[in-house]
Amino acid sequence: MGIDGAFRGSAALANGRLTRGRRHGSRYQRIFSVAYCRADLSLDLEIRSRAAYLLVRDRGGVLAGYSAAWALGAGRATAGTPAEVLVRRACRTHPGLVVRQEATAEQDVVEAAGCRVTSPPRTAWDLCRRLSPVEAVVALDAVAPIGRFAPDELLVRRLREPGRRGCRRPDEIVAGPAA
């Protein structure tokens, strides 16, 4: 009986797909406090993101940053990139997981790859606020076509959410290098 990808340990026990002894044996590895995967899988961004979503979905959390970009089909993360989630209330951090505590408007959330994730414009805005200029341009170029939005639409977001950390950085990214 094989289980592919990340799974919630308690669910696998409850539906009889796995026993407690096998879950804690050498065939499976624990990712975060509630999530597991087969031991032979490498913990890439997809596995970590799916596990992170299992950790926060019942608390209204969503995937964000590179995790959202992966789910949307625009993943360009390097090996070792941590999963990222947004939650309303504090959530314990784990190695390989970035937890950001902030509210997310419903219009900024979509479903992708079986997870609730930030929308393409919100994902691009978050990445542009936090990444180096070169990485931000690459992320914006990957996410914008998927979300069918013009990069300059990110400039309006600053007016809706003034004072957010890094809220002026997307202006620099969209404007490009100074002549």
- Contacts by 44-48, CB closer than 8 A, 24 or more apart: 44/79, 45/70, 45/75, 45/77, 45/81, 45/83, 46/5, 46/70, 46/75, 47/5, 47/6, 48/6, 48/82, 48/83, 48/96, 48/97
Chain segment 77-114, per-residue pLDDT in tens: 777 899 999 999 888 889 999 999 988 899 999 999 99
CA distance 71 to 50: 9
Q: Determine the pLDDT at residue 3.
A: 60
* Residues of the chain scoring pLDDT < 70: 1-3, 76, 177-179
Whole-model pTM over 0.85: yes
